[in-house]
Structure 1
Amino acid sequence: MPSLSYVAAVNRALRDEMARDERVCVLGEDVSQGITGLTKGLADVYGTGRVVDMPLSEQAFTSLATGAAIAGQRPVVEFQIPSLLYLVFEQIANQAHKFSLMTGGQASVPVTYLFPGSGSRSGMAGQHSDHPYSLLAHVGIKTAVPATPSDAYGLLLSAIREPDPVAVFAPTLLMGASEEIDDGDLEAVPLGSARVCREGTDVTVVAVGHLVPIALQVAAALAGEASIEVIDPRTVYPVDWETLGKSITRTGRLVVIDDSNRMCGFGSEIAATAVEEFGLTVPPVRLSRPDGAVIPYALNLDHALLPDAGGLVGAIRAVLR
């Protein structure tokens, strides 16, 4: 069976959508050169009229993408560093996101924001190591964090086809991942549809992005102690509460592992909703970065701030007790 890498999956999704729909275009810094690998070779096929290198002004080309989308195009904006979201938050959250509502549905803004290399980059320090998907989920922007190459392909297809703004985060620690999959099995994955990665009866573990394979490894290692169900929400907004609710209600125990800051993070929302609605047997446990975490340059400190397999083992054992 052929192997598909995470980077190749994103690249293929862009190629396929650009071939299918001539309105799809790619904007960003050095996208014609494919510096991150995600847009490599696209300019050779579709030209620099559809794969457009932008000047070093993220606020300018994010606003340009909003206008292009309103005018009928379907732009994909690549940001080389996820922390750039803080620069363009106004353009995304206050303009693109609200435009359809504020025009009474007379206009839509089908723009996709692609954030490659999200999360810790092992020594890239504070301004290159953020994982700010919770920020966009908080304001109600559809936000995906694919955990596998096939989901990276399928969720990006769905994002580009949406009539509303969608953000897609590609975690650094998955960029080198590969998956065995037949070409014919690649398809669009609906936004808001969670995936049960491993079935279990004793504990529900909800893991996001690159933490999904870690959760699966831990679940396998602890199989002699407990039957652990692992769920990948795929999208942090909207959340597939039906799938999560069925699992949490059945197991009665919940651990959330989430690589965003603890305060107002995605894990907090899952834990709070579970307490309010899903009849937990014991209080939930959430693993995340600390409150207000800024990743330092030193690798040992970088790794110390991130949720990991050891912490997940402890959390699972805590809810079992």
Structure 2
Amino acid sequence: MKHEESKAQGNVSTVMRFVLLGFSDLPNLQGFLFGVFSMIYMITLIENGLIIIITSLDPALQKPMYFFLANFSSLKICYVTVNVPRILVNLWTQDRSISILNCATQMCFFLILAATECFLLAVMAYDRYVAICDPLHYPLVMSQSMCFQLALGSWVSGIPVQIGQTCQIFYLNFCNSNQINHFFCDIPPILRQACGDTSAHEVSVYLIAMLFVAVPFMLILASYCKIISTILRLPTAQGQTKAFSTCSSHLLVVALFFGSATVTYLRPKSNHSAGTDKLLSLIYTIVTPMVNPMIYSLRNKDVIAALKKLSLTKIK
């Protein structure tokens, strides 16, 4: 792969393009991986698209919980579209080069969507909190306008901060090897390519990660502490089971996303390794968007009923 570079001041080589190594260490599996990722991408689009369709068309799903679920599915479609097409092109053409501008654009969209997911998961936890802990006021608190405002806030809140963080990172000079041992432009592998001392940028990454990961996670944790406390006070075991079933899917999704994201961004730099970073990134950028609709549909009778109704309508 040709190393494209320019001469900066002080006669220092400055990288102008990166090479995403991705899965180049598996040369005999390129075709197989292309097939696997193509299948995952199509399954993810179909599953999440179905969730959006049934929550829009089925009257039984015209509730705040499913409005946020539709937003979550839309987010997951955007999420995989930021990364998977680039992976597929790299695997098909074996041309893994990417310009710094395209790399910065990919990172910016990825970070914005990741911030959106953190806030949206917190909003979904708040929705369950109000539904279980204050059911009499639920229609008033979670009105249509409030749901729209919460969803919109989740989508846009991270935009200015993440654009600023992306600009800050790409203002650095990249004078090390232009080869990035990753399958997309993520913060840890990009910072490893930068010249000089990047400690100030690393602190900035930690602070922003704490804002967009730790704060929503603490809100989710506080909501579920109150939810669990309320469920345990219900008089019947049947009532407890029904109340918990509406939350278990969300809890599993939260654990998958925040677990892998926390280990990726908040663990010490000395513990970072390219292989671990790629594995964790695969989990929360590609695997979870595919399994999330399965988690929600398999444990939700309303969603299963709506899917059956849709399939019967198509057959007729």
Range class of TM-score, shorter chain: under 0.3
Which TM-score applies when normalising by structure 2?
0.27
Q: Which has the higher contact order (CA 8 A, sep 6+)?
A: 2
Which TM-score applies when normalising by structure 1?
0.26
Higher share in strand: 1
Higher share in helix: 2
